[in-house]
A and B are shown apart, each in its own frame.
Chain A
Amino acid sequence: MTNMKKPSFNDTMLILVFAAAILAMPLWLDPFGGNYPDLLQKFAIYGIFAIGFNILFGLTGYLSFGHAAFLGVGSYAAVWSFKLLTMNAIPAVIFGVLFAGLLAAIIGFLSLRRTGIYFSILTLAFAQMSYNLAYSVLTPITNGETGLQLARSDPRILDKLFSDGPASAGLPSTELFGETMSGYPGFYFCAVLLIIGFYISLRIFRSPFGLMLKGIKSNQNRMKYTGLNTRPYMLTAFIISGMYAGLAGSLLAVTDPLAGAERMQWTASGEVVLMTILGGAGTLVGPMLGAGLIKYFENIFSSFDDSVLQQAFSFLPDSVLEIVVPVVGLFVGSGWHLTLGLLFMIIVIFLPGGLVEGFRRIFNYFTSGGGKAETQSVEAHNQAGE
């Protein structure tokens, strides 16, 4: 544990493996039916969201139920940047992160006066207020239920400044110096930001600041007795975490320029909590895994309707088919929520540490009794996943 202050060889390996795995997602997700731009983008974006949430929850143990508010604000800020300034993704991302950070500073400043579930309910209350207002009274800014969209008549001051050609007939699309940000390029843009985000999170976990936060988690009172004011540390963690959410929100808008109020609803906040715990709270890669799993369920499992099942089980004799298809149909298609619920229960009951713990157990099972080199790598894995 002496190697915490500077990135060790293992950390470098971890970040390289992580980067390779993320960038190669189109390849290895294809057999699972997950290789299409929208889902890949969602994996990367919600990965960022969950990694950021983990900086708060995993390190400090403070369970925020209001992170969706930052996601939503990031989206709104980004779409407004497209509308007012330019279709370039960079300013949108910057504004998204900034505004989310600002909101996080305000909410964090107030909510961090309380701990435990009182903190959770405060963050929930703030987020629900944001959602309800965005849906109704704030419609001039948010366009309410329909969601904030681009229009041809938007000013886009910077774009107009640099191009004097006639506006194209349709809506402009988001771009990064000429490259359209939908489809695969959009995914690679998100993926790069995800890798950077992951790297920053890794450095935070290993830094003295990260240690301080872990200290707060294990015993806040003891930290206070040493004469330390924990509030500024907590607030910093909260703001960083909120900025990650803002980044994710702005990327949602970059890949698909529409911001809806339901992104701020408590269910969205709950989703990131579930992603993090499912993958393994406090681990580095866990939240990313959890995010990927939930998004995969939402998008792929929900699409298996009866005709897909009929085809998949067509090797069975008809009489068996008639029983199998309706039974399996309960768990996929419109019943995909049921599978998700069962999965939550099974994982929490049998794998309290989340998916990461599951992989660790499998890894240990196969390597126990192995050579010395393998034992070392288990150790490395444990450290990495701490």
Chain B
Amino acid sequence: MSDFKKSGMSRRGLLKAGAVGGLVAATPSFFIKDAWAEEFRNNPTNSGEVKLGFNVPQSGPYADEGADELRAYMLAVKHLNGEGDGGMLNTMKPSMLTGKGVLGKKVTYATGDTQTKSDAARASAKRMIEKDGVLMVTGGSSSGVAVAVQSLCQEQGIIFMAGLTHSNDTTGKDKRRYGFRHFFNAYMSGAALAPVLNKEYGSDRRAYHLTADYTWGWTQEESIKNSTEALGWETVNTVKTPVGAGDFSQYITPVLNSGADVLILNHYGKDMINSLSQAVQFGLRDKQVNGKNFEIVVPLFSRLMAQGAGDAIKGILGTTNWNWSLQDDGSKAFVQSFGAEYGAPPSMAAHTCYVQTLLYANACEMAGTFYPPEVIKQLEGFNFDGMGNGPTLYRAEDHQCFKDVLVVRGNENPSSQFDLLKVVDITPRAQVEYDWTIFGGELGPYEVKM
């Protein structure tokens, strides 16, 4: 069915083909289902190209992050096809990527707008799968969207390489056989942050949590609470705030008299920008409580978002998946390549998206086929290095990547407009690993009936 809709075909070409194609495509799929039983969805065998689906937020609050993800994807496609300087293709180990496409086929792509809404994200993913004939879907900037698209991809038999998603659920209770996450999660943030918090702020602290009132916020609150309480910290209160509240003043003022000396903001995106800058305005950081300096912690930091908070981020501790200031070969190659192309360093969202694309392409090469179950088996338990995070494992049991986690601090004296985060500590991988059974969930089958 997707044969005549080759990706390279222009709109005009489509118009011409329309007359014939309409008749074929209108044939209800159950008539021809049997003919494809040996096949898999969107099999590119008879085509010279392989098409990937980039599903990123292009409108709504995360549009800029989505735009950065898209830049990374286009760069990855270039590098896979042997254009440009090759970026991480040169540093990735082990790698079977040749810069001549994937399995000899040129890589092309389709894009979609998730709008950071589950419904819209699934609709655009379906459009790419059903109409554009993509073989893999990737991208996104929120856990709700990642979980929703991931389960769709499982049903459709299409591999999903998650973009930015930090909730424990993505590879925990909502994990799927066809879904893979390179990004770290809330549990790892907690495990990486705790020793640094202990070192910087001591073990006798009283924490107050403000938490975005939805699934991601809750998992992060739980993870951070567990790891700080293990240090000996006391949790004074955990307060849920409505998503998109805008003005957080009524949630910040009770902190002043709560006896807490640390405020933990389990917010992301605009909520983080607003709550952090308002907390600073309320003078929290100038306060002395229990004879200690009052501190604010933002467990998940994003450089792109941090720009919106201006000076408020200076000195604030948090974690991040990757930062462009890293000096390993992989990071340097990627930053150089990205910077030369777009004039700005990549964000951590861009990094994870770029790496995911390369990992998928490499797995296809290793499998020698695009057949998803074989590709999945190559990704499961795959050990690699040279992608910016040190030696990394794609754990087979839950499809979560395990790698070093960066603890960062908002830079007090930025040397450039991009130099917002300073790496305080690189938490080794062993310290953030956990038993995959603690979050429950099951992966599901390799073979998907169509």
Contact between chains at A170 and B154 (CB < 8 Å): yes
Of the listed stretches A111-119, A142-150, A365-373, chain B binds A142-150
Contact between chains at B120 and A31 (CB < 8 Å): no
Cβ of A8: which chain B residues have Cβ within 8 Å of it?
none
Task: Give the contacts of A291-338 with B (CB-CB under 8 A).
Answer: 298-299, 302-303, 305, 307-308, 311-312, 314, 333-334, 336-337
- Quick one: given A139-B215, A302-B58, A311-B10, are A33 and B21 in contact (CB under 8 Å)? no
Contact between chains at B124 and A302 (CB < 8 Å): yes
A232 within 8 Å of B (CB atoms): no
Contact between chains at A185 and B28 (CB < 8 Å): yes
A183 within 8 Å of B (CB atoms): yes
A182 within 8 Å of B (CB atoms): yes
- Quick one: given A169-B444, A184-B28, A299-B123, are A35 and B22 in contact (CB under 8 Å)? yes
B117 partner, pick from A30, A139, A260, beta carbons under 8 A:
A260
B239 within 8 Å of A (CB atoms): no
**Interface size bracket, B side:** 35 or more
Contact between chains at A263 and B119 (CB < 8 Å): yes
A312 partner, pick from B11, B28, B59, beta carbons under 8 A:
B11
B25 within 8 Å of A (CB atoms): yes
A314 partner, pick from B10, B28, B124, beta carbons under 8 A:
B10
Task: Give the contacts of A119-172 with B (CB-CB under 8 A).
Answer: 132, 135-136, 139, 143-147, 149, 152, 169-171
A145 partner, pick from B124, B144, B444, beta carbons under 8 A:
B144
- Quick one: given A136-B214, A188-B28, A298-B120, are A37 and B130 in contact (CB under 8 Å)? yes
Which B residues are closer than 8 A to A by beta carbons?
8, 10-12, 14-15, 18-19, 21-23, 25-26, 28-30, 58-59, 63, 66-67, 108-113, 117-120, 122-124, 126-128, 130-132, 142-144, 147-148, 151-152, 154-155, 169, 174, 213-216, 240, 242-243, 442, 444-445, 447-449
Contact between chains at B118 and A33 (CB < 8 Å): no
Contact between chains at B117 and A262 (CB < 8 Å): yes
B217 to chain A, nearest CB (A): 9
Contact between chains at B26 and A35 (CB < 8 Å): yes
Cβ of A311: which chain B residues have Cβ within 8 Å of it?
8, 10-11
Contact between chains at B30 and A147 (CB < 8 Å): no
A42 within 8 Å of B (CB atoms): yes
Contact between chains at B26 and A38 (CB < 8 Å): no
How far is B119's CA from A343's CA once the two chains are assembled, in angstroms?
A: 24
Contact between chains at B22 and A26 (CB < 8 Å): yes
A144 partner, pick from B112, B214, B242, B445, beta carbons under 8 A:
B214
A307 partner, pick from B109, B128, B448, beta carbons under 8 A:
B109
Interface centre among B59, B119, B132, B148 (most CB of A within 10 A): B119
How far is B174's CA from A146's CA once the two chains are assembled, in angstroms?
A: 10
Cβ of A298: which chain B residues have Cβ within 8 Å of it?
120, 123
A27 within 8 Å of B (CB atoms): yes
Interchain residue pairs with CB less than 8 A apart (7): A27-B23, A36-B127, A38-B123, A183-B29, A258-B148, A258-B152, A311-B10
Contact between chains at B30 and A146 (CB < 8 Å): no
Cβ of A337: which chain B residues have Cβ within 8 Å of it?
59
Interface centre among A26, A38, A312 (most CB of B within 10 A): A38
A378 within 8 Å of B (CB atoms): no
How far is B240's CA from A135's CA once the two chains are assembled, in angstroms?
A: 12
A39-B131, A136-B213 known; 19 new pairs, CB 8 Å cut-off, are: A26-B22, A27-B23, A30-B21, A35-B22, A35-B25, A36-B131, A37-B29, A37-B126, A38-B126, A149-B147, A179-B30, A258-B118, A258-B122, A258-B152, A298-B120, A302-B58, A311-B8, A314-B10, A336-B113
